[in-house]
Structure 1
Amino acid sequence: MVLPSVALEASPVKLLTKKKQWLKAIDLIVSECKDLGYDGIVLESWSLWANYGVLQDQDMRKKALEFIKQLGLALHLVRLKQDSDCSLQLVYVIGPPNKHSPKELMFSSEDFEYLIEAVDGFSLMTYDFSSAFYVGPNAPLYWVRAVVQFLAGNNESLRSLAHKVFVGINFYGNDFVLPQGMCFSDIEQNLL
């Protein structure tokens, strides 16, 4: 399966508030998939939209979610083979919640539930737990579990859709020095 990554890096306000731009972007993505023989796309926009301040505004957040939903539905209308049940796929990249991010920027279980029918998979980035500012492990197992559980929330029907969550695992490490007198258990108590 070939799913190229598409990053929506331009200012999202024009895209999300102008229906003509919205439809043009969806048509372009679908056309590219058909013309180049792709099986769908991996869409990256959530973190970029957060950087533009779109997700803090509830009206714009709804438009962002609706755009993703409409893109997924448009991709699903295209069959990969004439007599096939397989359609173009949409995988959506989402970042993990953590205590260093404002809550309104996080992808929530409500967002997950809203998009579940239109999105074939969610690429959940469970790496880069630590940084130069928050020293610690890249992706501790307890944190990866907590992130996946946060996404499903308390909704049992969402938990049954866990097969749609693709957990990104890092294959690299960072070298860091703990502050004098600090150990990993001190760090873990302050996270998530």
Structure 2
Amino acid sequence: MKCIITIIQVLLMSSLCICTLSPPADKKSQKGVKPQEGTRKNNVLDRKLVVETPYVKDVLKYHATYHQDISIRNFKNTVLGYVTPWNNKGYDVAKTWAPKFNYISPVWLQIKRQTPNIYIVSGLHDVDHGWMKTVRQKGMDTNLKILPRLLFENWQPSDLKAFFMEPTSMTEQKALIEEVKKVCRQWMFDGIVLEIMSQIGKYIDKSVKFIQQFGLEMTEDDLSLILVYPPFRGYPSDEFFIQAFNEIYPYVHAVSVMTYDFSNPQKPGPNAPLYWMRLCIEKLIGKEENPSKRAKILLGLNFYGNSYTANGGGPIVGTEYIELLKNAKANQVLTYNNNTAENYIEVRTSQGTKKIFFPTLYSIQKRLDLAREYGTGVAIWELGQGLDYFYDLF
């Protein structure tokens, strides 16, 4: 009996020793990837990081590193970057890489019709004058302008009818324009990015003359007007937007085309296939060799991605992407699709297998090459969602 007890004690002690000498497996140390961050003497192109099928370990290791000289512009065409109040990192990105941008658009403002001929701009509580001053100072060499986005929000059918259809509609439109110009002067904005076309439903065909007048009056006051524009999706309304672009572009400083959200949880897939982005440009420019027309197109670039499961999924930002990649093997590569010019990867997580589409240095470079080919600019939605080393490409 004593012998049996002794044997049991020895086995228990051995088990305890094994537990003590064998620490829990650390996923990060198993990968052998030690993330780096901060400035480097060379940019991502010189460091040979812009490759078609990058290794997971290289993304994990280098995503937070970037070229020490942030004043160098590798993309010479117009660049607009959106910033949102719900993603504070975007504010820091705008300050750090200000010389890379021509326009920064904080998503701050909404406009509503209060009573006949009285319009109210809301969202001004989000305005940060200290941040605006810093961004302008750092973007001095490119004459960077700050144009908050202005959204037509929650308009009632009666308001839209009065604004576009009633005999007094011209007076209504004039009142709105005057209010916007007043806010720009008081709050020291350089203009606005106007999002109206997705908000006004059946009155969309009435918006062209209003936008033309809006653009003229803003220009007269040395203010910029950029218009948010839908992409080509094969809808019956697409032909209207193609024709409307020809009538609108001479009156605005640029048109920010929303070439992203090609897929969704109901139809999982790439964020913005390159062939579709090319089609969107070609539909707008037609067969014209008109450099000034092309230059006013800002091709939308998503800096977010999507993570899909068998049950759905949704958008992810850079920090979430990096965490998901830690579930992959260090030597696993991000698969590249030649047709869409996007990378993707499948990883196993505690929530099940996820298929992830997220921008890479290579996929962004392909889209910048497309913009160079056609002479367009780009609009990034949104700053702070991507990875730090993306900005070396701009």
TM-score tier by shorter-chain length is 0.7 to 0.9
- Supply the AA of the counterpart residue of 1:93: V
Cα distance between partner residues in 2 of 1:107 and 1:125: 16
**Which residues in structure 2 correspond to 1:112-127 (within 5 Å)?**
112-127=245-260
Q: Alpha carbons of 1:160 and 1:25: their partners in 2 closer, same or farther (altered >3 Å)?
A: closer
1:72 equivalent in structure 2 = 215
Helix, strand or coil for the counterpart of 2:192? strand
Cα distance between partner residues in 1 of 2:231 and 2:302: 14
Unaligned runs of 5+ in 1: 56-60, 79-86, 179-184
- Supply the AA of the counterpart residue of 2:147: L
1:24 aligns with 2:175: yes
1:143 aligns with 2:276: yes
- Supply the AA of the counterpart residue of 2:164: L
**Aligned with residue 262 of structure 2, among 129, 136, 140:** 129
Task: Note if contact 1:65-1:111 (Cα within 8 Å) is conserved in structure 2.
Answer: yes
1:168 aligns with 2:300: yes
CA deviation after TM superposition for structure 1 residue 146, in Å:
1.0
- Runs (4+) off by over 6 Å: none
1:15 equivalent in structure 2 = 163
Give deviations 1:28-65, integer Å, cap 9, x for gaps.
0111111211111000011112xx3223xxxxx1x310
Q: Alpha carbons of 1:70 and 1:124: their partners in 2 closer, same or farther (altered >3 Å)?
A: same
Q: Alpha carbons of 1:136 and 1:107: their partners in 2 closer, same or farther (altered >3 Å)?
A: farther
Task: Note if contact 1:96-1:107 (Cα within 8 Å) is conserved in structure 2.
Answer: no
- Supply the AA of the counterpart residue of 1:53: K
1:53 aligns with 2:211: no
- Higher RCO structure (Cα 8 Å, ≥6 apart): 2
1:6 aligns with 2:6: no
Specify the structure having the higher radius of gyration (Cα).
Answer: 2
Cα distance between partner residues in 1 of 2:240 and 2:304: 25
What is the root-mean-square deviation of aligned Cα atoms in Å? 2.4
Give the number of equivalent residue pairs: 164
Cα distance between partner residues in 1 of 2:179 and 2:265: 39
- Supply the AA of the counterpart residue of 2:289: E
CA deviation after TM superposition for structure 1 residue 156, in Å:
3.0
Give deviations 1:57-81, integer Å, cap 9, x for gaps.
xxxx1x3100011011000111xxx
- Supply the AA of the counterpart residue of 2:202: G
Give deviations 1:99-150, integer Å, cap 9, x for gaps.
3xx3226663321110122110000111100012322100111111111111
Helix, strand or coil for the counterpart of 1:42? strand
CA deviation after TM superposition for structure 1 residue 175, in Å:
1.8
Structure 1 length as normaliser, TM-score? 0.76
Task: Note if contact 1:94-1:107 (Cα within 8 Å) is conserved in structure 2.
Answer: no
1:38 aligns with 2:201: no
Unaligned runs of 5+ in 2: 1-144, 311-336, 341-394
Cα distance between partner residues in 2 of 1:27 and 1:106: 31
- Supply the AA of the counterpart residue of 1:137: P
Cα distance between partner residues in 2 of 1:105 and 1:24: 30
Cα distance between partner residues in 2 of 1:107 and 1:5: 24
2:349 equivalent in structure 1 = none
Structure 2 length as normaliser, TM-score? 0.39
Task: Note if contact 2:216-2:251 (Cα within 8 Å) is conserved in structure 1.
Answer: yes
Cα distance between partner residues in 2 of 1:156 and 1:108: 20
CA deviation after TM superposition for structure 1 residue 176, in Å:
2.3
- Supply the AA of the counterpart residue of 1:16: F
Q: Percent identity?
A: 32
